[in-house]
Amino acid sequence: MRKINVFDTTLRDGEQAPGVNFNFDEKMQIAYQLERLGVDIIEAGFPASSNGSFESVKNIADSIKGSSVTGLSRTVFKDIDTAWEALKGGVEPRLHIFIGTSPIHMEHKLRMTPEQVIENSVEAVKYAKTRFPHVQWSAEDACRSDLDFLVKIIEKVIDAGAEVINLPDTVGYVTQDEIRHMFRYIKENVPNSDQAVLSTHCHDDLGMAAANSLAALEAGAGQVEGTINGIGERAGNASLEEIAVALKIRNDYYKAETGLTLNEIKRTSTMISKLSGMTVPSNKAVVGDNAFAHESGIHQDGVLKNSSTYEIITPDLVGVNANRMVLGKLSGLHAFKNKIEALGYQASEEELKKVFKEFKTLADKKSEITDEDIMALMSEEKAGESVSYYEVETLQVNYGTTNIPTATVTLKNPEGNTIQEAATGSGSVEAVYQTIERMIGGHADLKDYRIQSITGGRDALAEVNVLMEYEGVEVSGRGTANDVLEASARAYINAINRALNYQSGRDLQAEKVNV
Ligand code: KIV
Ligand code: ZN
């Protein structure tokens, strides 16, 4: 079996998904879970893009020991120096340099001639090699680039010291035959291609990212890049979980495998979904809620007789239903701590005590506490900011089909005082949001509001995700509670706290700079 390296870019390309904005704690949490999943390389961010990105890449590089941590860089010496400062504490410091190689990118974006792009790339790779033991070079928009130009530039960057050559389908344009042809052409025509690993990085604009990545692997790529749940710019990136499971289930065909611990997939997917606020569609391959559900009577009958009749992936393989140790209101702190760790979360003593208290409150109201409930509580804790400017203390809403909905909200303000206000709205949620807006001052433009239940059942927790622009900063927020209005208020306050942290420069993570 050929070993395929897995390069995860959930924290860089994944964070470029509209509305996704991980804070520092969330990034650390995701990096730890990716390490546990067994990804070979974690792209933690773009260090030169902002102080926030620099800090999180540095902390991830300093903390993660089981995966190599990388950061993105333009072909600019200043970017490379900054990336080195962020990454030098990692186990295998690695730099990812990119530049556009298609005529469209060179002419219209870079305003550079092909010769300048070659010179620039070679200089940047040589410079990076004076610091980094490992350098990857990416030909942005490779799939719309001239093949002979690619052959020429790749030979030169390999000579300059690049050991991984990534050929992205930046705009999700290519077909399987075309990508196979491109990889074979490069392998056959670049004289020193055996001195580098070829890598594939596909986007999903035409819904072909996973299929195209697999086609590239068939044609000789030794590294695959993507994100968990396929989150990313526009229609997203290739879903790594789909590719890894396809290689496993069809190893008779691909004769290649990844080093991923496949039964960590479901947990990783749930964590990313919670922390990004991007719900996984129920029919999504491998990780969707319906991926293992059989509805038709004929199918159910077949599966009961022999699961292989209609089930090519067993739920156990990807960790569905794993670790279902049920907790109840009598469970102690020790069992709770074990559960949090088993679910992949790192919690400080202070966080643990706080979430344990919330768990106890929940256990009094809800008959069965599931893993999903605990992940929701933990994710809300991680969504909290370094400074909580406002906190929801009490909430009362008066609603009747013939009344004007009225909300009364009590908040703790930044000075630590309790403040109260009331306002009306055309619905209960609007009444709550009007009231809060009056109390915090400034205008919040709500761009998206989504609500879902964490589990089935009438006593399920409600989870609300909001996206808003507050005083010129676009931020997301998340809130969880038994009651939908309380969850709505918490999500709103979480977003406001994120915006205020950003404005005061305390949580630089709120800065989001896309490539
Ligand atoms: O899609 C792309 O081309 C990228 C590069 C920066 C590698 O994400
Ligand atoms: Zn990309």
Range of the domain at 296: 292-320
Query: Domain holding 158: CATH number?
Result: 3.20.20.70
Residues lying with their CB under 5 A of ligand 2, a single-atom ion: 13
Helix (H, G, I), strand (E, B) or coil at 504: coil
Binding residues for Mn(2+): 13, 201, 203, 237
C-alpha distances out from residue 205 to 21, 183, 215, 238, 433, Å: 21, 20, 17, 10, 35
* Domain count for the chain: 4
Whether 436 and 497 share a structural domain: yes
Whether 168 and 215 share a structural domain: yes
| pLDDT tens digit sequence for 268-317 | 999 999 999 999 999 999 999 889 877 777 877 787 888 888 889 999 99
- Cα(239)–Cα(211) distance, rounded to whole angstroms? 10
Per the rule left: phi > 0, alpha: psi between -120 and 50, beta: everything else, 319 is left
pLDDT at 373: 87
User: How many alpha carbons fall within 13 Å on the CB side of residue 210?
Assistant: 18
| pLDDT tens digit sequence for 387-429 | 789 999 999 999 999 999 999 999 999 999 999 999 999 999 9
Q: Tell me, in angstroms, the distance from the centre of ligand 2 to residue 78's CA.
A: 22
Mean pLDDT of 430-456: 92
Mean pLDDT of 459-478: 90
| pLDDT tens digit sequence for 26-44 | 999 999 999 999 999 999 9
Whether 399 and 444 share a structural domain: yes
Closest CA to 136 of 88, 46, 198, 194: 198
Whether 303 and 359 share a structural domain: no
Q: Is 387 in the pocket of ligand 1 (CB under 6 A)?
A: no
Whether 342 and 472 share a structural domain: no
pLDDT at 273: 95
Average pLDDT value over all residues in the chain: 93
State the ligand closest to the CA atom of 145. 1
pLDDT at 90 over 70: yes
pLDDT at 207: 98
- Cα(24)–Cα(387) distance, rounded to whole angstroms? 13
pLDDT at 502 over 90: no
> Do 203 and 237 form a contact (C-beta atoms < 8 A)?
yes
pLDDT at 223: 98
Q: Tell me, in angstroms, the distance from the centre of ligand 2 to residue 132's CA.
A: 22
Q: Is residue 325 part of a domain?
A: no
Closest CA to 200 of 402, 9, 65: 9
Whether 180 and 303 share a structural domain: no
CB within 8 Å of 137: residues ≥ 6 apart: 97, 98, 121, 125, 157, 162, 164, 165, 166
Q: Tell me, in angstroms, the distance from the centre of ligand 1 to residue 415's CA.
A: 44
Mutate to test the pocket of ligand 1, among 15, 74, 104, 140 (most ligand atoms within 8 A of CB): 140
Q: Is 201 in the pocket of ligand 1 (CB under 6 A)?
A: yes
Atom of ligand 1 nearest to the CA of 237: 1
What end-to-end distance do the CA atoms of the chain give, in Å? Answer: 35
Q: Is residue 284 part of a domain?
A: no
Q: Is residue 11 part of a domain?
A: yes
State the ligand closest to the CA atom of 227. 2
> Do 28 and 512 form a contact (C-beta atoms < 8 A)?
no
Q: Is 138 in the pocket of ligand 1 (CB under 6 A)?
A: yes
pTM of the predicted structure, to 2 decimals: 0.90
- Cα(35)–Cα(29) distance, rounded to whole angstroms? 10
State the ligand closest to the CA atom of 237. 2
Q: What is the dihedral of CA 491, 494, 500, 501, to 10 degrees?
A: -150
- Cα(246)–Cα(254) distance, rounded to whole angstroms? 9
pLDDT at 509: 46
pLDDT at 387: 72
Distance of CA 28 to the CA centre of its chain: 11
Atom of ligand 1 nearest to the CA of 141: 3
Higher-pLDDT residue of 301 and 16 is 16
pLDDT at 457: 82
pLDDT band at 510 (very low <50, low <70, confident <90, very high): very low
Whether 109 and 200 share a structural domain: yes
| pLDDT tens digit sequence for 229-253 | 999 999 999 999 999 999 999 999 9
Please give the full DSSP string across 396-422, using - where no structure is assigned: EEE--TTSPPEEEEEEE-TTS-EEEEE
Whether 120 and 83 share a structural domain: yes
Residue whose CA is at the smallest distance from ligand 1 atom 2: 170
Please give the full DSSP string across 49-69, using - where no structure is assigned: G-HHHHHHHHHHHHH--SSEE
pLDDT at 508: 43
Higher-pLDDT residue of 446 and 474 is 446
Q: Is 515 in the pocket of ligand 1 (CB under 6 A)?
A: yes
State the ligand closest to the CA atom of 105. 1
Higher-pLDDT residue of 450 and 331 is 450
pLDDT at 69 over 50: yes
Whether 203 and 259 share a structural domain: yes
Q: Tell me, in angstroms, the distance from the centre of ligand 1 to residue 460's CA.
A: 40
Q: Is 98 in the pocket of ligand 1 (CB under 6 A)?
A: yes
